[in-house]
Chains A and B, each alone.
With several copies, the nearest count.
Chain A
């Protein structure tokens, strides 16, 4: 977190620069079937974030050496397009995208019934086309919808949201400025049916009480986003 205490991002009435209250989400919209050649796909517009996710498989797993006798391998990649950021991002895997790919895979593996497809591979590709804070959450949410759209069986979908702290106030779903200048960021991956977690990170500085507030905001927001995911899947392809 940048931690520039002197940028004022929330006023005395608890109204944030983009007009939201502390516990409000940005607008979220979801479409399925946006990548015609994929087995499943989704687009998530979240604030001004724009992510697409494609699912390929279950397919034959090669190289053979990564094949598993008892279950499918889940191959997840998160990537930012070069034009997705204010300053151009050089193409190619970097440490950040590698790590986000890994935690996203860890989250999804916790819910996908991989044992149903021994010796297979399921590829999940997340591409951020426009990035405005919280892309790992947006990407994980998009991947979850794309898996459902591809008909891959899961125990539950994963909904991912990040709350944080700005000007010493805990707020829900940080936007870009809040992410740059805020004091803490707590992204979580939540199973909406049980309230359990499959993904958790946090950076910055939160007292134990603030931490609890951010946690609660994420839980509430997850239920809202979950409904949008369900509606998109019911609504049929774009």
Chain B
């Protein structure tokens, strides 16, 4: 079936499908695309992961730097999370300074991880007031067919959980030790397509859809981060339905991270 790529026609087409509760690739409303996670894939990173969701492919890499703690928090290290979507990732990504879209992507993923408290920054102190670890998580997309948010979030937490503090390289010890990561925050994203929310929108659904909602849940269904993006109005009922799905899907993805860790 030919799928129109002119946004106006695409919208109409997706709306038509939605009336029969269908999606253009045959998925059910809450069904995700095939999702794969690999860890330890980047040799020069201290922790890394590759995630593929359908035709969306992203990498996450963890690097460490030594920082001076802020004067008011002498016992704390830092976490920095940065997302880049370079023009390699698709015909519409442009070179140049980060677009508003990619800035939002980085900040939303960053928040989900940061706010869960999974990285205990007090644990990153080396010498109080003088030296601490700064954890840098770089998210890097090479193929964008939609839902970079969830792909980045999944690759990000998996990369962090596989990361080794490079104590040998920095001449602090005879062996590296794992970065302590106490929780596994997981993001689920929903797009309004043809008037109703669906899970894991692909590139076409993003192009012909409306607002999106990103939910990051922690190990115990606690909410750590929310973000509504794009123009659009939603009701309390719509939100409750999404939240319910997120609670069950996050558990499955958390399982996938744990399995990858054990296989490592």
Contacts and interface: CB of A to CB of B under 8 A. Distances in A.
Nearest to B55: A36
Contacts of B145: 36-37
Interface residues on B, range: 35 or more
Interface in A189-238: 191, 194-208, 211, 215
A103 B226 CA distance: 12
B229 A81 contact: no
Nearest to B144: A37
A197 B45 CA distance: 35
Could you say which of B61, B145, B233 has the most chain A C-beta atoms within 10 Å of its C-beta?
Answer: B233
Interface residue SS majority, chain A: mixed
A99 B243 CA distance: 24
Given A206-B222, A208-B221, A37 B235 contact: no
A30 interface: no
A98 B223 contact: no
Contact of B117 (A84, A198, A199, A205): A205
Interface string B182-209: 0000000000000000000001000000
Interface stretch (B10-18, B20-28, B100-108, B252-260): B100-108
Contacts of B115: 1, 203-205
B57 A36 contact: yes
B90 interface: yes
Given A88-B65, A91-B84, A123-B87, A202 B226 contact: yes
B62 interface: yes
Of the listed residues A81, A95, A198, the one surrounded by the most CB atoms of chain B closer than 10 A to its CB is A81
Given A200-B228, A205-B115, A37 B223 contact: no
Interface stretch (A8-16, A125-133, A167-175): A125-133
Given A52-B88, A197-B228, A35 B222 contact: no
26 contacts: A1-B115, A35-B57, A54-B142, A56-B87, A82-B82, A82-B138, A83-B44, A83-B63, A83-B138, A85-B44, A95-B103, A102-B100, A103-B227, A106-B232, A109-B231, A127-B88, A130-B42, A197-B239, A198-B232, A200-B228, A201-B226, A204-B224, A205-B218, A205-B224, A207-B222, A208-B222
Interface in A145-164: none
A69 B44 CA distance: 44
